[in-house]
Copies of this chain bind each other. A is one copy, B any other.
């Protein structure tokens, strides 16, 4: 699977913010272009007031990096750019530099389907400043969106309590790839199938769907329409019953179900797409049962999300399969994950790594400095805590103290005896060469399911979840504070607010 290569023509190197190119040029001009740097991609808050986030998008990221190059078309576009006074924006030497540029970064990343938390680096890029910088925007675009949607899907599937969830969102998704990437991430997050045939073809996801209202309306009557559909798909009839009147629609579905049965076939189910889903699903269930179709499934759709599904389950609605679209593929209640990509360390000309921090009046906007690694401690297959520490830290110690980077009153001592430990950041590229064996989409989905099971259900609760402990190892916490004070005090003043 080569998603970006199969889907997009040519180079995607220009899929970046213009300021990455102006910075790249200025780095080049000032001789800093090849200086080694470390950037971390992380988010600051879970989306949807969730207690967990599910990482996704790495496969796209790998494609993007493998295909990273400026083609002649891109270079021509950049060469023709002019400043206000009509001079070329970029010198030809820089265009030449871009022409020869070959992806040469190290990338470590959290695997797709891993449950992740604020402050953890999901992707860590080490390489020449210019390359790290040019990758910022596309990496954020890819990881932000797919992680957002995988998380939304996991929440919706959690609400559905093991019943099948189908993703129907193509028509309301944000653009072509907004749909395709959402179908992929929804499957990773737990959905059973997508309506998007191209996503099925590109990613190997099961596709599903039967018919729309227009099918019914193109015939003189609903009954005639159901019969004609049953002729074409005798083993695949899920009749949409609410084109004119839901109850009459169920009666017509039953009538055609009987015809099918006479031919040795079986009605698969019905779908309700409007009106009160609790009320109509229960009437439909009763009608189907009484008519001798207890195995006919009821599919429901109509602006569903995790909260409406929960409410319908509480109301004992008779719904076997959930069709979700808009609210899932656009992450309607929070359509963006605000992950950022921050410089964490830079190598001096003597080869020494210096940690870097961005200061802000908003504490949550202060990044975690240094070259980091992340460890997840668990006990008997249940995650206990995540620790972010500096590379090279001794992880064999008996005890660690971790502190929440925003609220230091939240701290935890971890007694490592009897705990298992996993390093979350896996090597993906080394010096530009892929070293990671990509799992297929079904393996990623399974990993997500297993990963979600590591976490107590209180962390997965939809509203007011229990907060899982994630923190900076004590010495990293101290480093961060001392750097912040240093940057705030670099003229000797002591005003921190």
Interface residues of A (CB under 8 A from B): 4, 6-9, 12, 14-23, 25-27, 29-30, 32, 35, 37, 39, 73-74, 77, 83-85, 129, 133, 136-138, 140-142, 144-145, 168, 170-182, 195-198, 200-201, 207-215, 217-218, 221, 228-229, 231-233, 235-236, 242-246, 248, 274-275, 326, 330-332, 335-338, 341-343, 346, 356-362, 365, 487-488, 490-491
A210 and B22 within 8 A (CB):
yes
Instruction: Say whether, besides A8-B7, A30-B228, A359-B245, A170 and B15 are in contact (CB < 8 Å).
Output: yes
Query: What is the chain B residue whose CB lies nearest that of A240?
Result: B19
Query: What is the chain B residue whose CB lies nearest that of A361?
Result: B275
Query: What are the residues of chain B within 8 A of A228 when measuring CB–CB?
Result: 26, 29-30, 32
A338 and B30 within 8 A (CB):
no
- A79 vs B346: C-alpha distance in the bound complex, in angstroms? 54
Query: What are the residues of chain B within 8 A of A176 when measuring CB–CB?
Result: 4, 8, 12, 15, 138, 141-142, 175, 177, 181
From B19, B83, B173, B208, give the contact of A212 (CB < 8 A).
B19
Query: What are the residues of chain B within 8 A of A83 when measuring CB–CB?
Result: 233, 235-236
A362 and B175 within 8 A (CB):
no
- A358 vs B14: C-alpha distance in the bound complex, in angstroms? 46
Query: What are the residues of chain B within 8 A of A209 when measuring CB–CB?
Result: 17-22
- A326 vs B208: C-alpha distance in the bound complex, in angstroms? 32
Tell me, rounded to whole Å, the shortest Cβ–Cβ distance linking A181 to chain B. 4
Instruction: Say whether, besides A137-B171, A331-B335, A232 and B197 are in contact (CB < 8 Å).
Output: no
Query: What are the residues of chain B within 8 A of A73 when measuring CB–CB?
Result: 201
From B8, B129, B362, B488, give the contact of A218 (CB < 8 A).
B129
Tell me, rounded to whole Å, the shortest Cβ–Cβ distance linking A120 to chain B. 19
B215 and A23 within 8 A (CB):
yes
- A83 vs B209: C-alpha distance in the bound complex, in angstroms? 12
Query: What is the chain B residue whose CB lies nearest that of A32?
Result: B218
A242 and B360 within 8 A (CB):
yes
Query: What is the chain B residue whose CB lies nearest that of A495?
Result: B245
Query: What are the residues of chain B within 8 A of A21 when measuring CB–CB?
Result: 197, 209
Query: What is the chain B residue whose CB lies nearest that of A228?
Result: B30
Given contact pairs A19-B195, A141-B179, A274-B362, a sample of 7 additional A-B residue pairs in the complex whose CB atoms are under 8 Å apart = A15-B170, A39-B214, A83-B236, A173-B336, A174-B175, A178-B178, A242-B360
- A109 vs B213: C-alpha distance in the bound complex, in angstroms? 23
B17 and A197 within 8 A (CB):
yes
- A177 vs B179: C-alpha distance in the bound complex, in angstroms? 9
A172 and B17 within 8 A (CB):
no
A136 and B15 within 8 A (CB):
no
Tell me, rounded to whole Å, the shortest Cβ–Cβ distance linking A19 to chain B. 3
From B16, B215, B218, give the contact of A197 (CB < 8 A).
B16
- A201 vs B488: C-alpha distance in the bound complex, in angstroms? 41
Query: What are the residues of chain B within 8 A of A236 when measuring CB–CB?
Result: 22, 83-84
Query: What are the residues of chain B within 8 A of A16 when measuring CB–CB?
Result: 170, 196-198
Tell me, rounded to whole Å, the shortest Cβ–Cβ distance linking A124 to chain B. 14
Most B CB contacts (10 A, CB to CB) among A37, A137, A361 go to A137
Query: What is the chain B residue whose CB lies nearest that of A57?
Result: B175
A336 and B19 within 8 A (CB):
no
Tell me, rounded to whole Å, the shortest Cβ–Cβ distance linking A34 to chain B. 12
Report, nearest first, the 6 A-B pairs whose CB atoms are least far apart. A19-B209, A178-B178, A18-B209, A26-B232, A174-B174, A175-B177
B346 and A326 within 8 A (CB):
no
- A242 vs B365: C-alpha distance in the bound complex, in angstroms? 11
Query: What are the residues of chain B within 8 A of A4 when measuring CB–CB?
Result: 176
Query: What are the residues of chain B within 8 A of A181 when measuring CB–CB?
Result: 174-176
- A262 vs B361: C-alpha distance in the bound complex, in angstroms? 33
Instruction: Say whether, besides A8-B7, A26-B233, A360-B274, A17 and B195 are in contact (CB < 8 Å).
Output: yes
Most B CB contacts (10 A, CB to CB) among A84, A171, A217, A358 go to A171
Query: What are the residues of chain B within 8 A of A74 when measuring CB–CB?
Result: 201
- A360 vs B217: C-alpha distance in the bound complex, in angstroms? 13
- A74 vs B200: C-alpha distance in the bound complex, in angstroms? 11
